[in-house]
Amino acid sequence: MVGVWLERRNPARGSRWGGVNRAASALLLAATAVWTKPAATCADLLARGRELYVLCSSCHGDRGQGDRQRSAPAIGGLPQWYVEAQLHKFLAGERGYHPDDVTGLQMRPMAQAVHRGDDLQAVAAYVASLRPQPWPRTQHSGDTTRGQTLYATCIACHGADGKGNEALKAPRLAGQADWYLIDQLKKFRSGQRGAAPGDAMGAQMRAMVNVLPDDNAIADVVAYISSLRP
Amino acid sequence: MLSWLVPQASTSARDIDWLFTLILVTVGFWFVVAQAALFTLIFRFRRRPDVAAAYISGERKEEKRWISRPHALVIVCDIVLIAGALLTWKAVKQDLPPADERVRIIAQQWAWVFVHPGPDGKLDTDDDVRTVNDLRVKIDTTYHFELTSRDVVHSFSVPAFRLKQDAVPGRIVTGWFRPTRLGTYDIQCAEICGIGHALMPARLTVETPAEQAAWYASRSAQGG
C-alpha cells in the first residue's frame, strides 16, 4: 500500500522510486508478520475469559453461582453456545429492551463490556468451564404432579430431563434457580422478553408460554423442573 | 465561548455559558494584569552591579497601595461574579417557566427509561411512549421533566443543555429545559451508581414537531 501511494505521488519517478517502493513493501510485510497475533488458543481464550469474568462476578458470583438478592441467575456451567447467544441478544437489544424489565436493563450494558474482538466468546467459554452450581428450591407452593403434566409441552425442546438441546437452541433448565425460572416465564408472558423484532427463539418461547395460563401454572411447572436432577 | 467545545442546545446552556464567559474574562483579565505587573517589576528592579537590595517593610503609604487597591478590585470583581451567578441560578434553577409538554425520566442501574407524552401531549394517557436510552424532544418547546430513580442515586446529565440534576429514589425532582438546536446529543449518568455506571449512556434527539409526529406514528404502527 505504501508502495502504491509512493507510485501515485511520484508517477514520473516510478523507476527511481522503485527501490524505495519495494523496500517499503517488504518492511510493511515484515512488520505485519511481527504484529499479527497468532490465533487464540483455547487456553488463551479461557485466560481472557477469566479476566473479563471479574465484571460478571460482581453479580453472578465468582463461581457463577448466582445471587438472588441481585436477581442474578446461576450461570456456571451453562453451555457456551447458550451464553454467547444470550450475550448477542443483549448486545442487539433483543433482551433487556423493555422499560419494565429492570433486571434485563441491568444486564444489557454489561454485555457491551465484551463486544470487542473475541471477548464475548472468551467470557462464554469461561462461564461454560465453571462447575454448575445447582440452586436449592426456594419456592414450595407449586404442585409437582400438575407441573409434570404441563411440562409435557416443554419436553419437545428442553428434553424430558430438562438438560436442553443445542440443536433446538433450548437451554438447560434442570438446576436453574426456581425464582429465576418463574421470573423469566412471567417476562415471556408479559412481553418483557421474547417480543423484540429479530428474536426468533424468544418468539417461539412466547408462544409456548401460553400453555401456562396463570401464576399457579408457572409455579407448578417450575416446581417440577426443580425436581429434575441437574 | 464554551460552545466551541460543546454544542449549546438549550436556553439554559446559553445562560450557563454567559456566566462561564463572565468568570473567564474577569478572572483572566486580572490574571494577565497581575502577571504583567509582576514580570515588569522583576525586570525593572533586577539585580544591578553596585546597587544594594532595599528592604521594603510595606508600611509606607505608597507601598500599601500595592495591596489595598488590588484587594478592593478583587472584592468588586467578586461582587460582579456573585451577582452573575445568582442571576444565572435564578434563570436556570429557580424560575419554572410554564410547560408546553412534560416528560418523565426514570433512572435505574444501568439504563434510562423515558416516558414521552405521545401525540396528545399529556402524560399518563394511553398514547404515552416509553423508550429505553432514547429521549426525543421538540425544538423550541419548554419541557418540564419529572426525574426519579428506581434504585440508587443517579444524575441526569446533558452536557449540550448544561443540565445536571440528581435522581433520588423515592423523590420526584421537577426541572425544565427548552431545546434550541436540532441534533443528537449525549445523556450520561454523572453520579457513580454501581459497577455499570460507565455503561449508562443514552441519546437525546432534538427534532422538529413534524419529525416527532412521524416518530410517534411509526411507534404506533409497530404497536409500541
A106/B195 CB distance under 8 A: no
Q: Is B68 helix (H, G, I), strand (E, B) or coil?
A: helix
Is A11 among the domain residues? Answer: yes
Measured between beta carbons, the chain B residues lying within 8 angstroms of A112 are 199
Same domain, A48 and A30: no
The parent domain of residue A77 ranges over 42-129
Spatial CA neighbour of B19 closest among B69, B110, B107, B90: B90
For an interface test with A, the pick among B109, B134, B200, B218 (most A C-beta atoms closer than 10 Å) comes out as B109
Q: Chain A interface, mutation test: which of B132, B154, B219, most A Cβ atoms within 10 Å?
A: B132
Distance from CA of B131 to the nearest CA of A (A): 7
Q: What is the pLDDT along chain B (224 residues), one digit of tens a residue?
A: 678 889 999 999 999 999 999 999 999 999 999 999 999 999 998 999 998 888 888 889 988 998 899 899 999 999 999 999 999 999 999 999 999 999 999 999 999 999 999 999 999 999 999 999 999 999 999 999 999 999 999 999 999 999 999 999 999 999 999 999 999 999 999 999 999 999 999 999 999 999 999 999 998 877 65
SS3 B113: strand
Q: Which residues of B14-47 are buried (b: 16+ CB within 10 A; e: fewer)?
A: bbbbbbbebeeebeeeeeeeeeeeeeeeeeeeee
Which residues of chain B neighbour A98 with C-beta distances below 8 Å? 132
A135 found inside a domain: no
Question: Residues of A with CB below 8 A from B108's CB?
Answer: 102, 105-106
Per the domain annotation, does A210 fall within a domain? Answer: yes
Residue B80, phi then psi, degrees to nearest 5: -60, -45
pLDDT-based confidence at residue A134 (cuts at 50, 70, 90): confident
A168 lies in the same domain as A187: yes
Mean pLDDT of A84-90: 95
User: Is the same domain home to A149 and A192?
Assistant: yes
Same domain, A116 and A63: yes
- Indicate whether A136 belongs to any domain: no
Residue A96 is assigned to a structural domain of this protein = yes
Q: Which residue has the higher pLDDT, A128 or A142?
A: A128
* Residue A140, pLDDT above cutoff 90: no
Helix (H) or strand (E) holding A2: helix A2-9
Domain identity same for A77 and A151: no
In the block, cell 433487556 appears at A96
Measured between beta carbons, which residues in chain A are less than 8 angstroms from residue B131?
A: 99
CATH for A76: 1.10.760.10
User: Is A138 among the domain residues?
Assistant: no
Mean pLDDT, range A10-19, rounded to an integer? 46
With a threshold of 0.85, tell me whether the complex ipTM lies above it.
no
Is A134 part of a structural domain of the chain? no
Which cell numbers hold the place of A131? 462447575
Q: Which has the closest alpha carbon to B117: B101, B133, B135, B98?
A: B101
Domain-embedded: residue A137: no
Residues A122 and A163 in one domain: no
**Which of A103, A129, A155 is the C-terminal boundary of a domain?**
A129
Residues A56 and A125 in one domain: yes
Q: pLDDT by residue (tens digit) across A27-64?
A: 655 555 555 555 567 888 899 999 999 999 999 999 99
Boundary-marking domain end, from A104, A129, A154: A129
CA gap B216, B18 in Å, rounded: 36
Count of structural domains within chain A = 3
Same domain? A116 vs A47: yes
Q: Are residues A55 and A119 in the same domain?
A: yes
Mean pLDDT, chain A, as a whole number? 84
